[in-house]
Amino acid sequence: MNAQRRQVIAGLAAATMAAGVPLAAFAQKKKIVLGFSQIGAESEWRTANTESIKSAAKEAGIELKFSDAQQKQENQIKAIRSFIAQRVDVIAFSPVVESGWETVLREAKAAGIPVILTDRAVNVKDDSLWVTFMGSDFLEEGRKAGRWLVEKMKDVKGDVNIVELQGTVGSAPAIDRKRGFEEIIKTDPKFKIIRSQTGDFTRAKGKEVMEAFLKAEGRKINVLYAHNDDMAIGAIQAIEEAGLKPAQDIIIISIDAVKGAFEAMMAGKLNVTVECSPLLGPQLMQAVKDLMAGKTLPKRIVTEEGIFPMEVAAKEFPNRKY
């Protein structure tokens, strides 16, 4: 709620209370307006995330102004400015990249509109520019992927050559998943990342970049580490087209745990996926309501997640919600 609106409401609330009308009854009349800037529709994960936010807003009776940025930061900045101009009560967004948000977040703060970060973090000096950040611990996801590989390869004596498909350049998950994974594998010098390139979190780019990796390195590749399932699924196609067996000739590790990954695991083509839950909608709507009720939110709300190797895929599949 912006400063002006808060003042008007405070005044009205005081007047209604003085007239004997309970504050709760007064508060019920106003529908909360939430402006949400989504990154795009680059992956199965993102589609599930959008669906979760839209359905949770409906369920919570919150008016949602939804904007799709098509993976461009400039579109997200435009959307946030438009939310400010429309004087929404709360702004939430999933930032496509980490840096470059200072100016627009200062504008939101000056307008008295609280900002919630969902899924991805921003890199700004002044933490008061956002209220809370809810989402996964990407660093830990990278570590989980690394730990799984170290255990899987513990008896291997020679070099383990890894190719890496990174997420969107400059995005929080790409930075942290790389860092977390490297932190673990560097404990044993046999693990070598021989190629690393962005696949922008999409299937098409994942396939394209994997084709290039295979052309350059061929059978030298022992492991593929993909920062999301979509890129891994694209890469699986490239591996098969090159006449190799995914998950056998090349061990494949990815992140998200979307249904597509479970299908790939059940078909014996993907070894493991680390969970990253997109179902942030209900949590976000609760946070919006809490904010509007004047509650203080924790600065960080971390999503609890697991890891699913191919051996448990068939058993887990019926429980998957995305």
- Partnered with residue 160 across adjacent β-strands are 191
Residue placing its CB nearer to ligand AHR in the complex, 98 or 256 = 256
Residue placing its CB nearer to ligand AHR in the complex, 53 or 88 = 53
Site for ligand AHR in 24-53 (CB under 6 A): 42-43, 45-46
**Beta strands across the sheet bearing 251-256:** 191-198, 160-166, 223-226, 251-256, 272-275, 307-309
164 binds ligand AHR (CB under 6 A): no
Residue placing its CB nearer to ligand AHR in the complex, 112 or 170 = 170
What is the full DSSP assignment across 302-320? EPP--EEEGGGHHHHGGG-
Minimum Å gap between C-beta 87 and ligand AHR is 29
Residue placing its CB nearer to ligand AHR in the complex, 136 or 222 = 136
Among 62, 117, 235, 276, binds ligand AHR (CB under 6 A): 276
Residue placing its CB nearer to ligand AHR in the complex, 274 or 291 = 274
Residue 280 and residue 51: Cα distance in Å, rounded? 10
Among 228, 254, 273, 283, binds ligand AHR (CB under 6 A): 228
At what angle are helices 229-241 and 259-266 packed, to 10 degrees?
Answer: 40
Minimum Å gap between C-beta 225 and ligand AHR is 13
- Strands 251-256 and 300-302, how do they pair? unpaired
**Beta strands across the sheet bearing 90-93:** 63-68, 33-38, 90-93, 115-118, 132-135, 300-302
Site for ligand AHR in 44-103 (CB under 6 A): 45-46
Minimum Å gap between C-beta 53 and ligand AHR is 13
Residue placing its CB nearer to ligand AHR in the complex, 88 or 95 = 95
256 binds ligand AHR (CB under 6 A): yes
Give buried/exposed letters for 231-270 (b at 16+ CB in 10 A, else e): bbbbbbbbbeebebebbeebbbbbbbbbebbbebbeeebb
Among 201, 213, 262, 308, binds ligand AHR (CB under 6 A): 201
Q: Mark 111-140 with x for binding to ligand AHR (rule: CB under 6 A) and - for no binding.
A: --------xx--------------------
Residue 260 CA to its chain's centroid (Å): 17
Q: What's at 314, amino acid-wise?
A: A
Q: What's at 5, amino acid-wise?
A: R
DSSP state of 129: G
173 binds ligand AHR (CB under 6 A): yes
Interface with ligand AHR (CB under 6 A): 42-43, 45-46, 119-120, 173, 201, 228, 230, 255-256, 276
